[in-house]
């Protein structure tokens, strides 16, 4: 077992890995940018090393500085977390060359499955249904040609990374050029790789993923599914396990397909097979996330496994601690991603200082957080500040506990998505589990339209009340004396003019 591990990440996921290391008696080494000098993961680690300026390209994506920090600290392994370099085969290869254990799949396995197009190609060869699309990196001209062959609508998707970054849905030819530029730009800034491919866009489907673990002894297991259909701009915002839509037969078929693919790719460590599932319970492979997922806590809550500890043990050459027959899904878990964003201002990032923080607690509640009272939320990185997880004996209890926890959660100093989560978890369709990948976007659009209508009514009433309470000038409407005109008539006249 390792005596020291460097965590090549920041925020709540770095804190999560540090805690697993501490429970295993392993020293944890943090890295940080100049913007993260006082971050929680830096404070909790046993050692911490500055690796560069705030921009990711000069810090958390700086391979040379990360390797240097690991060697200086005497760490024998590197945990990449999620995002940044977690699915970068060149980084994994560099770790192997420097005799540092990469806590994740091998560089060969990442190339085989971590790259979205390579994974699709391997899945097709293995007989697993895939969404129609291309299987290699494309130039801009090749993207245009592929769209003609596949037909609109399509999704332009980054080959590297995940988390909804570098993805653009295209419904018309007029939007295609701009979508290509935007997808490449976002992919380059987030993952250091502008490569994209094309995939047919399947509307009305569910996004359901299957968690797997694979060790170096030939054992592969699936740990049940996660429902991830509540998404905004391809970014998951609420996840749960198990899915309210998946039955035992579909779970078994998807799990067996995931295991089959992992074995075909000689995959090791933790990974997630992502699928689109239509209303007839037909599933289509999307991609493999060759890393730990943001939403891994819901799987931990229903299986009782610690996925980070399993990752570390597998990387150290140990077998998975369970076999397929040992795995039982107990109860239901739901996760809300809490972002430092203003949900009432188009989810604009809300960096700043946390003045007040009160975390929820009580039965079945877990908070994976990267913040503390008095800390700064920088503007340079993904605005996620914590993950709130609730467990219950069934879905209804899990949702009720989540709503109670959201009501207890207080973060002052920055805007957060907490009010948004409270509203979405009160929606009748969400409560009934009747969701799909486009549900949240249409729900938000409807909510914005209603809000604008309400604001117009409020403004009209406010104007009328203002005129009603204003002292009369003693002159008529023509300014020649006489009684003042009714403020209600004035407000009505103003509204009529406004609507012309």
Task: Report, as residue numbers or ranges, the catalytic residues.
Answer: 291
Structure tokens at 100: 């540092």
| Cα dihedral value 342, 345, 351, 356, nearest 10 | -40
Length of the chain: 500
SS3 label, residue 361: coil
Q: How many CB atoms lie within 10 A of CB 471?
A: 6
Q: Which residues contact 220 (CB under 8 A, 6 or more apart)?
A: 212, 213, 214, 259, 262, 263, 267
Question: In DSSP terms, which residues pair with 222 in a beta bridge?
Answer: 212
106-119: b (≥16 Cβ within 10 Å) or e: bbebbbbbbbbbbb
Pairing mode, if any, of strands 27-33 and 47-52?
parallel
Q: Would you tell me how many other CB atoms lie within 10 Å of the CB of residue 124?
A: 13
Burial class (CB in 10 A: 0-12, 13-18, 19+), 96: middle
Are 203 and 281 in contact by the 8 Å Cβ rule? The answer is no
* Rounded Cα–Cα distance for residues 209 and 192 (Å): 25
Place of tokens 């599933």: 283
SS3 455: helix
Tokens of 403: 């709503």
Helix axes 307-315, 11-23, angle to 10 degrees: 70
């Amino acid at each position: 077992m390792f005596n020291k591990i460097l965590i090549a990440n920041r925020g709540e996921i770095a804190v999560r890995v540090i805690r697993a290391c501490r429970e295993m008696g392993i020293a944890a080494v943090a890295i940080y940018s100049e913007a993260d000098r006082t971050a929680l993961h830096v404070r909790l680690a046993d050692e911490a090393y500055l690796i560069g300026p705030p921009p990711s390209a000069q810090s958390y994506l700086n391979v040379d500085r990360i390797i240097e920090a690991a060697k200086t600290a005497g760490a024998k392994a590197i945990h990449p977390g999620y995002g940044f370099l977690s699915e970068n085969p060149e980084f994994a290869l560099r770790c192997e060359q420097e005799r540092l254990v990469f806590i994740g799949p091998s560089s060969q396995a990442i190339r085989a499955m971590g790259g979205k197009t390579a994974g699709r190609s391997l899945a097709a060869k293995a007989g697993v249904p895939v969404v129609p699309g291309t299987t290699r990196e494309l130039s801009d001209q090749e993207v245009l040609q592929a769209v003609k062959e596949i037909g609109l609508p399509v999704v332009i998707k980054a080959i590297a990374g995940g988390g909804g970054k570098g993805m653009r849905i295209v419904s018309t030819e007029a939007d295609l050029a701009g979508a290509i530029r935007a997808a490449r730009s976002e992919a380059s800034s987030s993952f250091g790789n502008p490569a994209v491919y094309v995939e047919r866009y399947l509307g009305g489907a569910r996004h359901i993923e299957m968690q797997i673990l694979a060790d170096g002894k030939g054992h592969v297991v699936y740990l049940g599914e996660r429902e991830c259909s509540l998404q905004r701009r391809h970014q998951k915002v609420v996840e749960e396990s198990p899915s309210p839509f998946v039955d035992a037969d579909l779970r078994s078929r998807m799990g067996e397909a995931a295991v089959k693919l992992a074995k075909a790719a000689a995959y090791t460590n933790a990974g997630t097979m992502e699928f689109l599932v239509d209303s007839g319970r037909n599933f289509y492979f999307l991609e493999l996330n060759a890393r730990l997922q943001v939403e891994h806590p819901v799987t931990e809550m229903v299986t009782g496994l610690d996925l980070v500890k399993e990752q570390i043990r597998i990387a150290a050459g140990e077998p998975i601690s369970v076999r397929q027959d040992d795995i039982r899904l107990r109860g239901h878990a739901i996760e809300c991603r809490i972002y430092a964003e203003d949900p009432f201002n188009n989810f604009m990032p809300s960096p700043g200082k946390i003045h007040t923080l009160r975390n929820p607690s009580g039965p079945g509640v877990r908070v994976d957080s990267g913040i503390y009272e008095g800390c700064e939320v920088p503007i340079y990185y993904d605005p996620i500040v914590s993950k709130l997880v609730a467990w219950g004996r069934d879905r209804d209890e899990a949702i009720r506990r989540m709503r109670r926890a959201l009501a207890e959660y207080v973060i002052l100093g920055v805007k957060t998505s907490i009010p948004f989560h409270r509203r979405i978890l009160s929606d009748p369709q969400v409560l009934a589990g009747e969701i799909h990948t486009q549900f949240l976007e249409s729900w938000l659009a409807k909510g914005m339209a209603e809000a604008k209508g309400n604001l117009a009514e409020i403004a009209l009433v406010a104007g009328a009340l203002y005129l009603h309470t204003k002292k009369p000038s003693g002159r008529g409407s023509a300014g020649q004396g006489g009684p003042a005109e009714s403020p209600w008539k004035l407000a009505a006249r103003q509204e009529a003019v406004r609507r012309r």
